[in-house]
Amino acid sequence: MAIYLDQSVEPLTPRELEVLGWMAQGLSNRQIAEQLAVNERTIKRHVGEILSKLGVENRTQAITYGAAHGLITLK
């Protein structure tokens, strides 16, 4: 399942959405890797893909974009 944002933004994969959700909870790449039982480099790659697909420069912008477009819910 992929979430389509608009025609100019490439869809995020389910794993990228999951990583974005963990990012929104303030977890570091290492902490996310531990939660998902994967290598930290894998998470770094996912974060890079998220930033690229959303057209943002950093994690804060990705979280803001994700929340504004209904991809994640902030508590």
* pLDDT score, position 41: 98
Query: pLDDT tens for residues 20-72?
Result: 999 999 999 999 999 999 999 999 999 999 999 999 999 999 999 999 999 99
**Which residue spans within 1-75 are E strands per DSSP?**
none
Q: Assess if residue 73 is contained within a domain.
A: no
* pLDDT score, position 7: 54
Q: Assess if residue 31 is contained within a domain.
A: yes
* pLDDT score, position 1: 42
CATH number at residue 31: 1.10.10.10
Domain of residue 32 covers 14-68
Q: Assess if residue 20 is contained within a domain.
A: yes
Q: Assess if residue 74 is contained within a domain.
A: no
Report the C-alpha gap between 57 and 62 in whole angstroms: 8
Q: Assess if residue 4 is contained within a domain.
A: no
Q: Assess if residue 40 is contained within a domain.
A: yes
Q: How many domains does the chain have?
A: 1
Task: Return the DSSP state at 33.
Answer: H
